[in-house]
Amino acid sequence: MTSLVSTERLDRAQAATAASELDALLITPGPDLRYLTGYDALPLERLTCLVVPAKGEPTLIAPRLEVPAAEAALGGQARVAIRGWEETDDPFALASSLISGSGVVGVADTMPAAKVFGFREAMPTVRQVLAGGVMRKLRVIKAPVEIRALRGAAEAIDRVHARVADWLRPGRSERDVGQDIAEAIVEEGHSTVDFVIVGSGPNGASPHHELSDRVIEVGDPVVVDIGGTMPSGYCSDSTRTYCVGRPPREFVDAYQHLQAAQQAGVEAVRPGVAAESVDAAARRLLVDAGYGGHFIHRTGHGIGVETHEHPYIVTGNVEPLQAGMAFSVEPGVYFPNKFGARIEDIVVVTESGVESLNQSTHDLVVVDHSFSS
């Protein structure tokens, strides 16, 4: 993803660090490091850490044996110096020597506890806070190049959903279908498969069901939630619901209300409205139809270099939506021991409204066309 990363990201990170009255950000391997530099560093027991001071040159501290990989990933970025450390060095002391100021640093939200305590021992008088307060503001508004990357990811996962019906057959297990889907995710352009959910029949009532050996039966609704990471480093995530054969009438009724709720959620997206209003728009229709108790999760989550990131579309989040925010709109209904259903699109807030990145049908896909819903 290095080609999508510009030095402007580091400039903004330094400005935000100074504005937050932090001396520096300490960014270990994970999504923030990928976002700032494009470097997908290995999360080793040895310390790799990008030191982003409020003023001065950002420096990547890396084990000597990882320096070639870091140099290749950064592609000679002039804004980042690379300092290798030997096995007998103290990398925490090396990183701390690059920091000066009033004594407050931001540590990456995903930094392992062992690294947090390593910095605490190296800088006992320095207060540590989460870097998420700074990084969230940088990452939550997507630049045009990021939106193009997310659009490409959505198109790729749509192509996978277009093939799913070919693999849903009575007598096949969820695991068999999941294997076909995983192979297609890569075939359609992703670098990695991040998750494959195939929830058939009663397993569809578990939103995060994992693949099992359950055999798909005639009449089973099947929830298929899939996603991966593209070579750009940006993620896809889309859910569609299928039925193998004639769907139960009870399910059809619920699905029709779900489809309307998902559309209402998307239509509620526009700049200036609170994030929670999108959740309310989708949830209101399901509550009014008597399905409120079956909608057991938030309506959406942000997406970018992580599948789940800010903003979260949930009651209580009064943050105003802004152009460039990207997130899912994915209401679902779940009936324990029976079935479940979910429809999920990734959307982007535009200057005047919303763009849905996923374009595959929201209609219930009945696999065997000799049956009718």
**pLDDT single digits (tens) 264-283:** 999 999 999 999 999 999 99
d(CA 345, CA 201): 22
Q: Among 122, 139, 156, give the residue marking a domain's end.
A: 139
Q: In the structure, what pLDDT confidence band is assigned to residue 370 with cuts at 50, 70 and 90?
A: low
pLDDT at 373: 42
Residues 132 and 150 in one domain: no
Rg (alpha carbons) of the chain, rounded to whole number: 23
Residues 154 and 116 in one domain: no
Other CB atoms within 10 Å distance of the CB of residue 126: 17
Question: Is residue 372 domain-resident?
Answer: no
d(CA 328, CA 239): 10
Of the candidates 343, 185, 354, the residue with the CA atom closest to the CA atom of residue 270: 354
Residues 200 and 347 in one domain: yes
SS3 content of the chain, % helix, strand, coil (to 5): 35, 25, 40
Instruction: Provide the residue range defining the domain that includes 59.
Output: 2-139
Each residue of 184-236: pLDDT tens digit?
A: 999 999 999 999 999 999 999 999 999 999 999 999 999 999 999 999 999 99
Residues 36 and 153 in one domain: no
**Mean of the pLDDT values across residues 144-166?**
97
Residues 88 and 150 in one domain: no
Other CB atoms within 10 Å distance of the CB of residue 186: 14
d(CA 14, CA 55): 7
Question: Is residue 25 domain-resident?
Answer: yes
Residues 69 and 7 in one domain: yes
**Mean of the pLDDT values across residues 129-143?**
96
Question: Is residue 315 domain-resident?
Answer: yes
pLDDT at 348: 98
CATH of the domain at 349: 3.90.230.10
Residues 214 and 307 in one domain: yes
Q: Among 105, 122, 139, give the residue marking a domain's end.
A: 139
Q: Which two tokens stand for residue 50?
A: 């990008």
pLDDT at 3: 63
Domain count, the chain: 2
CATH of the domain at 114: 3.40.350.10
H/E stretch holding 37: helix 31-37
Dihedral angle sign, alpha carbons of residues 233, 236, 237, 241: negative
Question: Is residue 373 domain-resident?
Answer: no
Q: Percentage of residues in the chain with pLDDT exceeding 90?
A: 93
pLDDT at 2: 55
Residues 187 and 290 in one domain: yes
* Res 372 pLDDT > 60: no
Q: What does DSSP assign to residue 173?
A: B
Question: What DSSP string describes 95-163?
Answer: HHTT--SSSEEEEPTT--HHHHHHHHHH-TTSEEEETHHHHHHHHSS--HHHHHHHHHHHHHHHHHHHH
Of the candidates 56, 28, 53, 52, the residue with the CA atom closest to the CA atom of residue 41: 28
Each residue of 28-64: pLDDT tens digit?
A: 999 999 999 999 999 999 999 999 999 999 999 999 9
pLDDT at 259: 98
Question: Is residue 371 domain-resident?
Answer: no
